[in-house]
Amino acid sequence: MDSLLNPELWISLLTLTLLEIVLGIDNIVFISILSGKLPGHQQERARITGLSLALITRILLLCGLAWMVRLTAPLFHLPGILGGGHPHPVSGRDLILFAGGLFLLFKATREIHEKTEGERPGAVRPVAPRFASVIVQILLLDVVFSLDSVITAIGMARQLGVMIAAVVLAVIFMLIFSGRISAFIHRHPTLKILALSFLILIGFALVAESFHLAIPKGYIYFAMAFSIGVEFLNLRTGARGAASHPAQLPASQ
């Protein structure tokens, strides 16, 4: 009971929850894009299932703190290319980040190609993805996104209960607002392309981090926030232009 009355506990819970929400935005974007490829009646179920799996993944990783410590231990060393020619240690976390980053780069580039180039004449129409295949892709990326979130939680809080509570609150927030975020993205095609570009940025950052070339998250978030701000100004300008120049009806004969 004394620990519950400790203001430091509540400050750490609030701060960690906000950070978990920020770190989960890219997960929402990815889930929204993948679920958007499903039929309309399955999209909400895919979002809820994907975020629920993200919650389970994060809690399991938090409960396996000892495994997380071993995950950062070097598994083998690569010949020194970076860092003055010294051997480059490679851990399990590095392999997961590298594989996840490459997957994001591939997936986002392919989606941008489909959205901008469209289908070529005579090309075979791709088969619509099944619900299970979309969930499997979401689950694989949940592992990658959860690593960042869990490592942040371990670095900020000392009590496992605070970490789990922050993760649960963040996922509940994302469950409430994921539908609105997804609908807004799908209503504006340019935002969808922008979101896919963010995935390329995140994928590149993950690959760089797997080589221990950490890009400060503040730079990434600033670039994303600046791009979103510019795009919102474009959308607002376009809406005002459409309101001030309504479509004229054809003259009656």
pLDDT band at 35 (very low <50, low <70, confident <90, very high): confident
Distance separating the N- and C-terminal Cα atoms of the chain:
82
Q: Does any domain span residue 81?
A: no
pLDDT at 89: 84
d(CA 143, CA 32) in angstroms, rounded, equals: 17
Please tell me the predicted confidence (pLDDT) of residue 191: 79
Residue 243 lies in a domain: no
pLDDT at 186: 73
Q: Is the pTM of this model over 0.75?
A: no
What pLDDT is recorded for position 88? 79
Evaluate if residue 121 carries a pLDDT over 60: no
The region that residue 175 occupies, defined by phi over 0 for left and psi between -120 and 50 for alpha, beta otherwise, is alpha
Min mean pLDDT across 20-24, 152-156, 206-210, 214-218 is at 152-156
- pLDDT beyond 50 at 55: yes
Q: At what angle do helices 7-35 and 160-187 cross, to 10 degrees?
A: 40
250 domain residue, yes or no: no
Q: 88-91 and 74-78: which strand pairing? A: antiparallel
The predicted pLDDT at position 252 comes to 47
Residue 202 · residue 26 · CB < 8 Å? yes
Higher pLDDT, 36 or 90: 90
pLDDT value at 118 more than 60: yes
Check if the beta carbon of residue 140 is closer than 8 Å to that of residue 53: no
- 213 in a domain, yes or no? yes
Does residue 247 fall inside a structural domain?
no
Structure tokens at 50: 């994907």
Please tell me the total count of domains within the chain: 1
Let me know if residue 83 belongs to a domain.
no
Do 194 and 231 contact (CB within 8 A), yes or no? yes
- Cα-Cα-Cα-Cα dihedral of 226, 189, 99, 204, to 10°? -30
- Range(s) of the domain holding residue 216: 8-74+89-121+128-238
Residue 244 lies in a domain: no
Average pLDDT in the chain: 76
What average pLDDT does the segment 225-244 reach?
82
pLDDT on residue 158: 63
Residues 64-117 pLDDT 10s: 765 665 677 788 888 765 555 677 788 888 887 888 788 878 878 887 887 787
What is the reported pLDDT for 253?
45
pLDDT digits (tens, 9 = 90+) for 123-182: 555 555 788 888 888 887 777 777 766 766 665 666 777 888 888 888 888 888 877 877
Residue 226 domain-assigned? yes
- Give the Cα-Cα-Cα angle 160, 218, 98 (nearest 5 degrees): 70
